[in-house]
């Protein structure tokens, strides 16, 4: 009996970068920030991704670059010997010049093995759909209506399960933080830590091509597989490999050969013992743009030609977009090989590590603008009208694009919006508030004066202003002035009611005496959580003509409600964006009170 030689499998391990992080920085506004990746980017940085401690370039980044993503990772290469320095000098820009010839360590295999990487960046959404579907199926036969809160439905599901499943785990799976419901705390989005961990999980493996088709087909056919959607793309290739293998009878050289894209070959009499086999020469950060429908657009990779670098930048980004970044280290191999004349030559080729740490970066900022300053009510004796002027606040982001003028009769009343000055020159404009068009006046440049036609000599009002930035974020109230007119002295009477900084939801926050009772009094563990309920009295409201009125702005209408939670003890606050998802398939009922 003759035994055929076993199939060869080649393994190579390049150290992967660790502790990879990507963070978005927003310096200042430019009007084409949503349409151009390199708007107002200085020429000195157009072809750079790593500044290597250059303080001059660092100053340019801090003050002249509108926005960027900064990467950080741990140093994995500590060999700074003269031999390494010589290799780096001799092979300057070797990654950039041979980017298409880099071989991944996963691809370093023979014809009989295939390398596959599994990484589902939408695992949280898939988990959400699976748990939601289970909830619907298991509650079909219940007499309880499905129009319950997520918590009550979760209790129903927990009671129906045979095994002991933690109630909080189901809640975490159902309460997925998506584009329509994101919690913002201290200016930063809060992510669900459990689902974020699932999204970062990835697997790299090599499979024998004789088994590959069966493995892929089973995964695609399995309705409960988390990877059946992404693996489906491999089905056609796996089938072709299976058909080829089924016709293979003789052993060919291809089954044992290793195809390597050689970038250089040099004849040499130097012994192998005197050669350094591998040297880390830099890093490559791969970049993809994620569209709203989940589709991905591949962008040029970011190349760092320095093995000792621990940071880099991406200056070519659009505001409001989502990007996926992953990093790999690049090693230069120099190994002996026999040429056609059976003489030893040294070949050079590049091998990359596995891609690690796929990180999603959403390029948005959540820093509210400062309110207008130097608010000054003045009586115009010539026209007999009240004129209110103000100044632009100090704003390093340069993104204030609207002013709102407010008025109220007393500290017991809510503020009334008098006018909105809109001088927004952004190419893509964002509107987070629905304001009647008659209250909005558009300008080509900022206008810093308002005349109240309704103010008379016997009037008494409190005035203030707010700023709105290009991204729809609103400031707190500016200084609040009570304005009246002394007819005996024929002059205005101004009284400072509150200094600047009161939240819109709590205009009396800085009064000497609190005019409002605390809305919620909590302490201990109850102060850390809150439940929000939406209990509409009617499902549909129609006018006298029978036309449906969209009173509630649902997610289907691109509506969103912003809640601000205030801590009256330390003046801290967090914002929560809440949407109402109208999933009910019911006939409209014209109910009237």
Higher pLDDT, 264 or 330: 330
Backbone angles phi, psi at 73, to 5 degrees: -155, 170
Among the ranges given (125-139, 326-340, 561-575), the one the predictor scored with the smallest mean pLDDT: 125-139
The contacts of residue 55 (CB under 8 Å, 6+ apart) are none
Ordered DSSP codes for 105-168: TTT---TTEEEEEEE-TTHHHHHHHHHHHHHHHHTTT-SS-S-S-HHHHHHHHHHH-SS---HH
Q: Are domains 10-106+260-366 and 373-516 of this chain identical in fold? A: yes
Average pLDDT over residues 425-450: 91
Q: Running DSSP on this structure, what letter comes out for residue 308?
A: T
Q: Is residue 449's pLDDT more than 90?
A: yes
What is the architecture of the domain spanning 373-516?
Sandwich (2.60)
pLDDT in tens, 42-101: 877 777 776 666 677 888 888 889 999 999 999 888 887 887 788 788 888 899 999 999
Which is more confident, 567 or 190?
567
* Mean pLDDT rounded to a whole number for the chain: 78
Indicate if the pLDDT at residue 176 is higher than 60. no
pLDDT digits (tens, 9 = 90+) for 488-540: 999 999 999 999 999 998 899 888 655 555 556 666 666 667 777 777 777 77
CB 373 within 8 A of CB 343: no
Any idea where the domains of the chain sit in the sequence?
10-106+260-366, 373-516
Q: Scanning the structure block, which residue is given the tokens 């209250």?
A: 439
The residue-averaged pLDDT of 444-466 equals 95
Q: What are phi and psi of 330, to 5 degrees?
A: -120, 130
> Which tens digit of pLDDT belongs to each residue from 215-269?
777 777 776 565 555 566 667 777 766 666 655 555 555 555 566 788 887 776 5
Q: Which 8-state DSSP code applies to residue 61?
A: H
Radius of gyration of the chain from its Cα atoms, rounded to whole angstroms: 32
Which of these, 84, 69, 103, 85, lies nearest to 285 by C-alpha position? 69
Q: How far apart are CA 497 and CA 502, in angstroms?
A: 11
Tokens representing 397 are 């982001």
Strand segments (E) across 315-445: 322-338, 344-352, 356-362, 373-380, 385-391, 400-408, 416-422, 440-442
Q: Using pLDDT thresholds of 50, 70 and 90, give the confidence band for residue 187.
A: very low
Contact 390, 478 (CB under 8 A): yes
Are the C-beta atoms of residues 22 and 359 closer than 8 Å to each other?
yes
User: Is residue 403 a contact partner of residue 392, using CB atoms and an 8 Å limit?
Assistant: no
Average pLDDT, stretch 157-164? 64
pLDDT band at 129 (very low <50, low <70, confident <90, very high): low
Q: Which CA distances in Å does 256 have to 113, 177, 313?
A: 11, 49, 42
Q: How far apart are CA 347 and CA 352, in angstroms?
A: 17
Binned at pLDDT 50, 70 and 90, residue 185 comes out as very low
Share of the chain above pLDDT 90, in %: 35
Q: With bands split at pLDDT 50, 70 and 90, how would you rate the model's confidence at 587?
A: very low
pTM value is 0.70
How far apart CA 211 and CA 242 sit, in angstroms, is 8
**Over residues 187-210, mean pLDDT:** 60
Pick one of 3.30.830.10, 3.40.50.620, 2.60.40.10, 1.10.10.60 as the CATH number of 10-106+260-366: 2.60.40.10
Task: Work out whether strand 344-352 and strand 103-104 pair parallel, antiparallel, or are unpaired.
Answer: parallel
| Residues 532-586: tens digit of each pLDDT | 777 777 777 887 788 877 777 777 777 777 777 766 666 566 777 788 877 654 4
373-380: strand order across its sheet: 373-380, 385-391, 449-452
How many residues are recorded in the chain? 593
More reliable by pLDDT, 318 or 357: 318
Assess contact for 390 and 374: CB atoms under 8 A.
yes
* Residue appearing with tokens 């809160």: 149
DSSP string over 374-386: EEEEEEETTTTEE
């Amino acid at each position: 009996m003759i035994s055929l030689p076993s199939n060869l499998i080649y393994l190579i391990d390049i150290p992967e970068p660790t502790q990879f992080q990507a963070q978005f920085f927003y310096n200042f506004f430019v009007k084409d920030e949503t349409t151009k990746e390199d708007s107002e980017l200085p020429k000195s940085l157009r072809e750079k991704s790593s500044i290597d401690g250059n303080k001059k370039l660092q100053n340019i980044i801090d003050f002249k670059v509108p926005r960027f993503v900064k990467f950080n990772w741990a140093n994995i290469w500590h060999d700074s010997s003269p031999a390494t320095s010589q290799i780096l000098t001799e092979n300057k820009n070797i990654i950039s010049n041979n980017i298409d010839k880099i071989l991944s360590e996963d691809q370093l295999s023979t014809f009989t093995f295939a390398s596959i990487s599994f990484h589902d960046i939408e695992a949280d959404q898939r988990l959400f759909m699976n748990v939601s579907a289970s909830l619907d199926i298991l509650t079909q036969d219940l007499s309880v209506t499905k129009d319950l809160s997520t918590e009550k439905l979760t209790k129903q599901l927990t009671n129906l399960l045979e095994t002991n499943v933690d109630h909080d785990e189901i809640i975490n799976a159902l309460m997925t933080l998506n584009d329509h419901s994101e919690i913002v705390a201290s200016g930063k989005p809060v992510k669900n830590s459990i689902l974020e961990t699932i999204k970062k999980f990835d697997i790299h493996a090599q499979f024998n091509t004789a088994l590959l088709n069966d493995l892929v087909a089973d995964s695609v056919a399995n309705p409960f597989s988390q990877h059946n959607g992404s693996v489906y793309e491999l089905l056609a290739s796996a089938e072709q490999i299976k058909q080829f293998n089924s016709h293979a009878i003789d052993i060919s050289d291809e089954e044992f050969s290793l195809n390597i894209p050689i970038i250089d070959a040099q004849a040499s009499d130097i012994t192998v013992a005197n050669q350094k086999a591998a040297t880390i020469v830099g890093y490559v950060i791969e970049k993809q743009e994620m569209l709203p429908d989940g589709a991905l657009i591949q962008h040029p990779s970011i190349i760092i030609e320095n093995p000792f670098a621990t940071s880099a930048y991406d200056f070519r980004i659009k505001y409001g977009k989502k990007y996926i970044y992953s990093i790999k280290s690049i090693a230069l191999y120099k190994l002996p090989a026999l040429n056609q004349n059976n003489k030893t030559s040294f070949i050079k080729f590049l091998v990359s590590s596995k891609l690690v740490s796929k990180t999603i970066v959403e390029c948005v900022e959540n820093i509210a603008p400062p309110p207008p300053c130097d608010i000054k009510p003045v009586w115009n004796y010539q026209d007999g009208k009240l004129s209110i002027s103000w100044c632009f606040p100090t704003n390093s982001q340069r993104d204030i694009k609207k002013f709102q003028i407010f008025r109220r009769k007393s500290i017991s009343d809510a503020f009334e919006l008098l006018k909105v000055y809109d001088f927004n020159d952004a190419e893509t404009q964002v509107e987070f508030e629905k304001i009647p068009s008659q209250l909005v006046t558009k300008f080509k440049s900022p206008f810093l004066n308002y005349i109240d036609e309704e103010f008379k000599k016997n009037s008494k009002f409190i005035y203030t202003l707010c700023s709105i930035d290009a991204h729809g974020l609103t400031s707190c109230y500016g200084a609040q002035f009570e304005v009246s007119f002394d007819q005996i002295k024929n002059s205005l009477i101004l009284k400072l009611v509150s200094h600047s900084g009161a939240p819109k939801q709590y205009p009396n926050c800085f009064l000497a005496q609190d005019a409002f009772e605390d809305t919620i009094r909590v302490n201990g563990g109850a102060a850390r959580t809150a439940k929000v309920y939406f209990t509409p009295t009617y499902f549909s409201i129609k006018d006298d003509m029978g036309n449906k009125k969209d009173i509630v702005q649902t997610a289907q209408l691109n509506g969103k409600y912003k809640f601000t939670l205030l801590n009256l003890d330390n003046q801290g606050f967090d914002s929560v964006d809440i949407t109402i998802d109208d999933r009910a398939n019911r006939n409209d009922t014209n109910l009237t009170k």
